[in-house]
Structure 1
Amino acid sequence: MVTKFYQHSLALAFAIKEINESPTILSNVTLGFNIYDSYYYEKMTYRSTLDLLFKSHRLVPNYKCSASKNLLAVVGGLGCDISIYISDVLSLYKIPQFPFGSCAPEQREFPFSYHVATEETYQNRGIIWLLQHFGWRWIGLFVVDDDSGEHFITMLKLLLPQHGICLAFVEQIGQMRRFYDMIEITRLLSKNYQLLKTSKVSVYVVYGDAMTMMLLITTVYSVYDDYEELASMGKVWITTSHIDFAVSQTERNVKLDIFSGSISLAIHSQQLPAFEKFLHIVKPDDTLKNGFFKAFWEQAFQCVLPDPSNYYFSCTGKEKLDSLPGPVFEMRMTGHSYGIYNAVLAVAHALQALYVSRSNRRSVLEPRNTEFQDPQPWQLHRFLRGISFNNSAGETLSLDENRGMGTGFDITNIVIFPNNSIIRMTVGRVDPKAVDGKEVTLRDDSVMWHKVFNQVLPVSRCSDSCQPGYQKRKKEGEQFCCYKCASCPEGKISNQRDMDDCSACPEDQYPSQDQDRCIPKMITFLSYKEPMGIGLASAAVSLSLITVLTLRTFIKHKETPIVKANNQRVTYALLVSLLLCFLCSFLFLGRPSKLTCFLRQSAFGITFSTAVSCILAKTVTVVLAFMATKPGSSMRKWLGKTLTNSLVLSCSTIQICICAAWLGTTPPFPDLDTRSMTEEIVAQCNEGSVVMFYIVLGYMGLLSFICFLVAFLARKLPDSFNEAKFITFSMLMFCSVWLCFLPTYLSTKGKYMVAVEIFSILASGAGLLCCIFFPKCYIIVLRPGMNQREQVLTRKY
C-alpha cells in the first residue's frame, strides 16, 4: 500500500464532513461516500467501477437491488488512463466524473467529465520554461510506459528542439504490475542505474505516477553499495504533477536525499487549517469501519491493530500522523487532495442549485407538495456548467465552458533531509489565466539545490558553452546541442553565449579585438590639430609666402630685361595661380562642410588649369619668337599679347565650364564614410559625380601633356632666350606627381586620401614654382650683373 495516498481518502471524508456540518448548504441532506481502489490495472478499474454502480451483495451488471445507494458523481481517477477506463462505464449512465489528475487536451474529452486540474499543455510549457530559464540544454527523460507517457514523449519531442533543448535519452519505465519475474526487474534496474551513473546528463525529467518514482527509488536502493558515488554526482529531478515522493513498505528505509533539490510541478493547492486539525483527530477507534484504514495505520506506523480474534497488538492508538516522515504521509494538503476536496464542493453546490430550482418550481406549480424526489446524476450537468463557489480557503473556483476548474500548477522545490523528512517550498507558479508571457513566475533565490552543487546553478549541457566572440559549429552525426566552438569571422561579433551565428556590427560601430562587442566608431577627418594636418598646413603657408615673395620680386624688378623677356603679364598670372593653388589646399583641411565641399575640387581644377595654361602660353610664345626670327617668316604676326591672353583665357574657360556643369548638376556634398575604415567613420566630401571629377583631372592632365610636349620640342633653343628647358623639367615633375597621384589616391582610405591630394597639389605647385622661377630669382637677387640687355641678347652657340 502507498500510505501517502491515503490522504486522498481523508480529503474526501473531510469534504463530506464539512458539507454535512454546514448550515448554509444542503442543510436537510446528508451526503455519504464509497471508496474503491483501481489497483493501477485496467481490469480492476472496470470491475471496481461496476461494483460502485451495481454491487450490493454480488455483482449483477445493470441491476440495482438497493434503493439506498443513490450515486450522484464519481471523483477519480488520478491518472489519465484510469480516468478514461472509468469514463467508459460512467458515460453510459451520464454520471458526472471528476478526474483529479492533469491530462493532455486530447485525453480530456470525456463526455460527462469535469476536470479539477489544469490540462498538461501548461505543465509542458512550465517544464520548457524552467529548462530555458536555467540554461539546461541536455536532459534525460524517464517516462511511464503507457498511453499518457507516449503522448508526453511525442509532445516533448516537438517542443524541445524549438527551444534549443535536446534529449540525451528517453527511457520508458513499465508499470511494476507488468513485471513477472526478477530477471526482468533486475534488467530494468541495472539499465536505469547505468543511465544515472554514466550519462553526462545532470537534469532528468520524470513523467508518470508515484509507481514510476518508486521504481527509480528502487533503482537507487538496488545499488546501495554505490549510493554515495551516485549521490556525489549531483542530479536535478524535474517531476510532473502525478508524481509524488512516496514509498511503500519496501522502500521505507531507502535514503532519498539524492532527490533533494528536485523541482516539481504540482497541481495548485491552498492550505486548509481545518483539514490539518481534522488529520490530528483521526484515530483508529473512529475509523475502523473504513476498509482501507487498518492497512494504512499498520503500514504507516509499522504496528498491528487489535484483532477481536487475537488479543495481541502493538499499536497504542495514540500514534500521531504528524510524526510520520513525508514519503509515508504528509500533513500538508497535496494538490490532488485539494482537487478532490474542490470536486466534492462542486457536486454539493450543483446539488444545492438543483434543490433550489426544484423548490422554486414546486412553490409555483404545487404549493402544497414540498417533498423532494431523489435527484438523478444526469440532472446535475445543467447546474455544474458555469458553477462558481468559494471554498473554505477563500479561493474562488468555477467551471469554465470546457468543464475545467484548474487554477494552474505550483512550482515546488523539494528538500529532503537525511532522516527522509521532506519540506516542500512553493517557489513559483504556472498560471494559465495570466497575461501572455507571464504564465510562469519563479523566485530563483528561493530554490535550494542538492548539497553537491553548493548553491551554484547546476549545468547540464552536451558541450561547453561557446563564449562571446565564438559561434557554434555542429558536430557531424550528433544532435544540435552537441557542437564545437569556432571564432567569429572577421568583421563580425557574438555578444552572448552559444550564438548560432555571428552578426555584423552597425555601420557606425566596429568589432572589438575579442569580437565580443561593438565599439562606436570615431568620426575622423584631416584636422589642423594632428601632426599630418599641421605639416601640410605649414607647407601650404610656406609655399604661399614664397610665391608672394617671388611675385613681389618680379614686380619690384619689372623693368629689368629678364622680367621683360618672360612676358610679364603671363608671369604674374602664373604666380597668382600658383598662390591660389597653394591656398586652395586649406579647403581640404578640417571637417568638410557644404561650402568647402562645394568649392574644393572646382577651385583646385580651375587654378591649376590656369597655371598650366599660363605655362603653355609662355612655351608657345618662346617657340613662335624663335620661328619669327627666321628670314621671311610669317610667324611675326602671331607674336604679341593677344595670342597669350587668348590662350590662357580659352584653356581656363574650358575648365571653368566643366566645373560649372559639375556644380550645377551633381555638386559635391558632405558625407560620412562608414565602410572604408574598420574603426573610424570618415567625414569626407562625396564628389557627387565621380565621372565629372575625373574629367576635371583628365582635362588638367591633357593641358599638362600638351605643355610638356611643346616644351620638350623647344628644349634645344638657346638658353639665354627661352625657358624651354626649365618648363620641360617642371612639367616632367608636374606630370610625374599627378601620375603617381592616381594609384596612390585609389589605394588609400579615409583622411589619407585627402592628405594624398593636398600633397600632390603642394608638390606639383612647388615643382612649377622652383623649376621655373628659382633660376630667375637667383639671377635677379644674387647675380644682378647677368640681368643686362647684352647678356640676354647674347646667343650661345
Structure 2
Amino acid sequence: MFVADEAFPLRRDMMRPFPGQFHPRERRVFNYRLSRARRMVECAFGILASQWRLYPRVLRVSPQVAERVVKATCILHNFLHWETEEHEDYPTLSSVEQIAVQHLDRVGSNNASREAQAISHLSTCACLSNRHIYPTFFRTVPSDHFQVIALLKLMKHFGWNWIGLVYAFGSYGENGRYAILEQAKKEGICVEYEEIYKKKFSDENVANIAGIIKNSTSKVIVSFMSSSYFRSFLSKIEYFNITGKHWIGSEAWVTTPTLASIKSMGILQGAMGFAIPEVKIPGLTEFLLSLEPSDAPDSAFIRDYWETTFQCSLSTSNQSQYKRLCDGSEDLRSITNDYTDMSESRSVNNVYNAVYAVAHALHNLLQCNNGTNPVTGQGCHNKNDIQPLQVPRSLCTEICPLGSRKVVNKTRQICCFDCVLCADGEIANETDSPDCTKCPSAYWSNNRKDECVLKLIEFLSYGETMGVVLVIFSCFGFFLTVLTTVVFFSFRQTAIVRANNSGLSFLLLFSLKLCFLCSLTFIGRPSEWSCMLRHTAFGITFVLCISCVLGKTLVVLMAFRATLPGSNAMKWFGPLQQRLSVLGFTLIQVLICVLWLTISPPFPYKNMNLYQEKIILECNVGSAVGFWAVLGYIGILALLCFILAFLARKLPDNFNEAKLITFSMLIFCAVWITFIPAYVSSPGKFTVAVEIFAILASSFGLLSCIFFPKCYVIVAKPQLNSKKHVMGKVTSKSL
C-alpha cells in the first residue's frame, strides 16, 4: 500500500486524502492522520537517504530484499542514535566504524577481545589514533587530524589568512571545528566567524547563517560537514544568492558528485578539498563484469541482483516475480548501471588496500632478505609542475601593496590591519611589509614608494632656458662693450674722447668686458676650480671697474679745481697717479681674495637640506667672512664713487660726465642693495641666477650711462665733438 498526497490519483493500492478544504470532522481526522503517516515515512526515508549511499539510487532488488535492506538500515540507525546520544546529528559511515570499534572496546572483557585486529577503510576520527586505547586498530584512510593540517596548509599556501567556518552539529563537525581552530592559530590564520548548522534549524536560523556568510569580508569558507549535512545546508542557502565565496570542503562531501547541480554551480564552483585517492584497481572492472550466477550459486545477493537487472528468473519455481527465464545470454558488459560504473572507486580502493595490507604484511613477515624487510617507493610529482590557473583571495585586509606598510588595528583581530603609504623618502619593496625603509641621503623614493632612486641633481646649466637667456645677455653685453671700445678707439683723437680721460675709459671698457664674461663662470656644473674662479673673478673685475669709475670721478673733480686761479691739483693726480690708484684699489681686493682662497676657499657642495626630493649642487662660499668681505669692499668703493659723483653733479655742462657717473652708480648701488635679500631668499639654482642678473644689470648700467651718450655724440652728432664745444666756447645745451 502506498501513502500519497493530493497530487496522486486514487487507486486500489494507493491512499490519498480527501480533496478540498471544507469536510466533516471524520474526513478531516482521516486527512490529518494520513498526512501525518506520510510525513513520518518521508522523514524516515529522508534521514536514511542522507546517510546511506544506496538510497539516493534506485534499489534494483526484489521487494523482499528491499524490505530486509530497509529493516537493516533502520536497526543501524537506532543503534547509532543510541550510541551517540546526539538526536539531531547522524554520523557518517566512518563514524559507524568508529562507534563500532569503541563499542567493541567497551564490551571486551578479556585480552582476546581487546586484541582483535581491525583495519578500517573509512574511519577518519583522530581519536582512533590513540595506541594506548586502540593498540590493534589500523586504517587505510588518513585521520581527520591530517586532513585539517592539509586544509590549513593549503590556505596558507594561497595566502588565505581570513576565513569563515561552518560546521555540522555532532561529533564529526565539532571535532573538526576544534582541530581547525587549533591548527589555524599555528598557521597564523584568523577565523572571522564560526557557525554551527543543524538540520532542524528554522528558516530564520538558516537566514541568519546565510546573512553572516554573505556580509562577511572573508572570501574563503571552510565547511566541515558530512555529505548529507552539507546537502541539506546547500539546499537551504542556495536561495540567498551567495556568490563570490570560495568553499573549502572536508573529504566527506567535497567529492560527492550529486552535490553538483545547476542551482549549486554558482555557489560551489571552484570548491576545493582533499579527497581519498582514486586509483584504478588492476583487473577489478574485468572481474566484476565477468561475474555470473554460476560462479556463486549459493549467493542470494548475486541471484537477486541478476534477476532484477535482467528482468528474468534463474529458477523455474513460482517464487520469482519474473516470468521469463534467463537463457544465459545475459552479460553485465552490455548494460550500464551503478554496479558497472567504476568511476567512483575511492572507498573501494581503500578496501582493496586494506585487504592487500594484510596480505603484504603476512608476505613480508615470511620473506626476509639478509635480516631486513624490503621497502618499495613510489614516484612523486614536482609541486612546481602544477600551477593554479586562478586563485581567489580571502583576506580580512587586502595585501598591503608595494610602497605601503602594515599598521596593527588594536580593535580588530591580528589578521585585520590597515595599510599606510610610506612617507616621502621611504620605501617598501615587499608586500605586507611591517615597516618602511628610509632611503639613503643621496636617494629618494619613487612615485610608487617601492624603490630608492638617485635624487635629481639640480644646478644652473647651459642647456636650460634660464641658462641660455643669461648666456645670450652676457654675450650681448660683451659685444656692446667691444663695439663701444672700437668706436672709442677709432675716435680716440677726437675732443670728447680725449677730454674724458681716454686711458681710464679704455681700462673701464676692458674691466666691463671681464664683468660680462665672468658671469659665464656661474653657469654649468660646479667644480672646485669653477667655484674658486667665479667668486674671485667677479670680485676682482668689479673692483677694477669701480676703481676706474672712481678714478674718472676724481679726475672730474680735480679738473674743475684746476680751473681755479693758483690751483695745481692736476699736477698731483695725473695719468700715472690715476693708474696707480686703480692698481692700488684692485690689489686690495686681490689680497682679500688670496686670503679667502688660502684660509677657506669656495667648494662644490651638495645641498640636501633645501629640498627632500632633489640635490642642489652649488658652490659653498667656504668662509662667509671672505665672501662678504669681497662684496663689502665693492660696496664701499661704489658708495664712495656715488658720493663723489653726487657732489660733482652741479659742475658746468662741459664736465657733465659727473652726472652720468652719478646715474650709473645709482643703478649699481640699487642693483646690489636689492641683490642681498634676493640672494638670501632665492632657493637652489635661482640663487646663482640672481647673482648673474646683478652682475649683468650693474654692468649694463655702467656701460649705458657712461659710454652710450658719448657714442651717440661721436656717431650721431659729430659737430658737437669739437674742442671748442668741449672747452665751452660754443654755447649749447648739455647732453
CA distance in 1, matches of 2:109, 2:297: 29
TM superposition shift of 1:724: 3.3
CA distance in 1, matches of 2:498, 2:202: 123
Residue 282 of structure 2: SS of its match in structure 1? helix
CA distance in 2, matches of 1:574, 1:640: 17
Aligned 8 A contact 1:676 1:749 in 2: no
Residue 277 of structure 1: SS of its match in structure 2? helix
5+ residue gaps, structure 2, are: 1-47, 56-79, 85-90
Deviations 1:576-605 (Å, cap 9, x if unpaired)? 010111123334456667765553343333
Letter in 2 for 1:244: V
CA distance in 2, matches of 1:472, 1:89: 48
Aligned 8 A contact 1:581 1:608 in 2: yes
* Residue 788 (structure 1) aligns with: 723
Aligned 8 A contact 1:4 1:330 in 2: no
5+ residue gaps, structure 1, are: 7-35, 105-117, 177-181, 362-381, 397-406, 408-428, 448-456
Residue 193 of structure 2: SS of its match in structure 1? strand
* Residue 133 (structure 2) aligns with: 89
Aligned 8 A contact 1:474 1:483 in 2: yes
TM superposition shift of 1:762: 2.0
Task: Say whether residues 1:49 and 2:93 are aligned partners.
Answer: no
CA distance in 2, matches of 1:586, 1:70: 105
Residue 141 of structure 2: SS of its match in structure 1? coil
* Residue 504 (structure 2) aligns with: 570
Within-5 A mapping of 1:693-772: 696-721=630-655, 723-745=657-679, 753-772=687-706
RMSD: 6.1
Within-5 A mapping of 1:148-159: 148-156=176-184, 159=187
- 2:272 aligned residue (261, 264, 273): 264
Letter in 1 for 2:485: L
* Residue 209 (structure 2) aligns with: 192
Aligned 8 A contact 1:591 1:683 in 2: no
TM-score norm. by structure 2 comes to 0.64
CA distance in 2, matches of 1:489, 1:274: 65
* Residue 193 (structure 2) aligns with: 169
CA spacing shift, 1:130–1:597, aligned 2, 3 Å: same
Aligned 8 A contact 2:192 2:218 in 1: no
* Residue 376 (structure 1) aligns with: none
TM superposition shift of 1:194: 3.9
* Residue 402 (structure 1) aligns with: none
Deviations 1:57-111 (Å, cap 9, x if unpaired)? xx44233279xx873x745774344434x544124xxx4745733555xxxxxxx
CA distance in 2, matches of 1:126, 1:79: 19
Aligned 8 A contact 1:714 1:724 in 2: yes
- 1:238 aligned residue (244, 248, 260): 248
Letter in 1 for 2:219: V
Within-5 A mapping of 1:114-153: 120-130=148-158, 139-143=163-167, 145-153=173-181
* Residue 12 (structure 2) aligns with: none
Letter in 2 for 1:274: P
CA distance in 2, matches of 1:350, 1:674: 80
Worse-matched range after superposition: 590-599 or 614-623: 590-599
Aligned 8 A contact 1:78 1:242 in 2: no
Structure of greater relative contact order (alpha carbons < 8 Å, 6+ residues apart): 1
* Residue 374 (structure 1) aligns with: none
TM superposition shift of 1:687: 3.9
Aligned 8 A contact 2:221 2:247 in 1: yes
CA spacing shift, 1:473–1:389, aligned 2, 3 Å: closer
Q: Percent identity?
A: 30
CA distance in 2, matches of 1:682, 1:720: 57
Worse-matched range after superposition: 275-284 or 618-627: 275-284
CA spacing shift, 1:324–1:788, aligned 2, 3 Å: farther
* Residue 221 (structure 2) aligns with: 205
Aligned 8 A contact 2:249 2:272 in 1: yes
CA distance in 2, matches of 1:642, 1:710: 21
CA spacing shift, 1:644–1:245, aligned 2, 3 Å: same
Within-5 A mapping of 1:315-464: 323-324=337-338, 331-334=343-346, 352-357=363-368, 388-390=375-377, 395-396=378-379, 441-444=386-389
CA distance in 2, matches of 1:233, 1:159: 27
Deviations 1:762-792 (Å, cap 9, x if unpaired)? 2210101111222333444425545427744
Within-5 A mapping of 1:212-223: 213-222=227-236
* Residue 539 (structure 1) aligns with: 473
CA distance in 1, matches of 2:439, 2:97: 64
CA distance in 2, matches of 1:654, 1:122: 89
CA spacing shift, 1:598–1:43, aligned 2, 3 Å: same
Deviations 1:136-170 (Å, cap 9, x if unpaired)? x8753224553442242244367566xxxx75532
Residue 648 of structure 1: SS of its match in structure 2? helix
Deviations 1:277-334 (Å, cap 9, x if unpaired)? 278459797899999x99xx99xx9x9x99xxx96789x99989974499xx973444
CA distance in 1, matches of 2:393, 2:664: 77
CA distance in 1, matches of 2:96, 2:408: 51
CA spacing shift, 1:642–1:290, aligned 2, 3 Å: farther
Aligned length: 627
Aligned 8 A contact 1:667 1:689 in 2: yes
CA spacing shift, 1:354–1:185, aligned 2, 3 Å: farther
Residue 89 of structure 1: SS of its match in structure 2? coil
CA spacing shift, 1:649–1:748, aligned 2, 3 Å: same
CA spacing shift, 1:756–1:504, aligned 2, 3 Å: farther
* Residue 101 (structure 1) aligns with: 142
Aligned 8 A contact 1:77 1:83 in 2: no
